[in-house]
Structure 1
Amino acid sequence: MIKNILKSALNNFQAFLVTWVVIIIVNQLFIFGACFAPYCLLAALPHTFVIAVLLNYFLNAEESNKQLNSSKIDSNSDFKYTQADNHIEDNEFEETEIPFCPKCGSKMALRTAKNGAHAGNKFWGCSKYPKCKGLLNI
Structure 2
Amino acid sequence: MIKNILKTAFNNFQAFFVTWVIIIIVNQLFIFGACFAPYCVVAALPHTFVIAVLINYFLNDEESNEPQKLVKPESDNQLKFTQVENNIEENDFEETEIPFCPKCGSAMVLRTAKNGQYAGNKFWGCSKYPNCKGLLNI
TM-score, length-normalised on structure 1?
0.49
Judging by fraction of residues, say which structure has more helix.
1
Instruction: Please state which structure has a larger fraction of its residues in strand.
Output: 2
Structure having the higher Rg: 1
Compute the TM-score of the two structures, normalised by the length of structure 2.
0.49
